[in-house]
Amino acid sequence: MAGLRIARELYRAGSAAGVAVAIAPALPDLGRVVSEVPIPVLAQHVDPVEPGARTGFVPAEALAASGARGSLVNHSEHPLSTDATGEAIRRLGALGLVAVVCARDERRAKQLAAFEPPYLAVEPPELIGGRRAVSTARPELVANTVRAVRSVSRSTRVLCGAGVHSRVDVARALELGSEGILVASAVTRAREPRRAIEDLLSGF
């Protein structure tokens, strides 16, 4: 299982580097990864619905039962409306779970920060999966998002995602005010995921 292999590498590398890490594997892998690694494991999506007759939906209660610590919310590949995002944040929080909310730009980030999620990641969709990091290609977007979020919610921690591939990208994101990164393809598409993880962590 690729997700579990990456989770193990992430746990080892994070411990060695002294950097807090978490992973969001594909939903079918969620329970297995939770049982195998001590780092926080998040879902890639949650639906803002009550549990019950919800075929195909992912209620927050199901994530809690699996041992997950929270979920990504409103990723550009699985977007939600503003109201649905707010309800997902509320439902996760009521269960003691963490919401990592994604936003495409500073305007959307400020709008969603009003729900005071624990984390908010700025990720312009056009840079996701590419080789140009938002922290170097559009540094003003990161800095402006940090300011916009903090003007609304002092408790929300801003993360930087989209195209982040190297320690340089990470270091630049931190210089711009981000408190962490959200990464997928830089690791999942890497020929040697361990080296990719270690390189990214060295930017902190």
User: Which of 9, 87, 116, 123 is an active site residue?
Assistant: 123
pLDDT of residue 135: 83
Residue 151 confidence (pLDDT):
97
pLDDT at site 138: 87
pLDDT, one tens digit per residue, over 82-140 is 999 999 999 999 999 999 999 999 999 999 999 999 999 999 888 777 777 788 888 89
pTM of the model: 0.94
pLDDT at 58: 96
Q: Is 75 a catalytic residue?
A: yes
- Decide: 141 and 134 in contact? Cβ < 8 Å: yes
Contact 198/169 with Cβ under 8 angstroms?
no
In this prediction, the residues of the chain whose per-residue pLDDT falls under 50 are none
**Considering the domain 2-45+56-201 in this protein, what is its CATH number?**
3.20.20.70
- Out of 9, 45, 61, 75, pick the active-site residue: 75
Written as six digits, the tokens of 120 are: 């908010």
Q: Judge contact between 176 and 154, C-beta under 8 A.
A: no
Local structure of 120: helix, strand or coil: strand
92 burial level (CB within 10 Å; 0-12, 13-18, 19+):
buried
What pLDDT shows up at residue 1? 64
Distance CA(137)–CA(140), nearest Å, equals 9
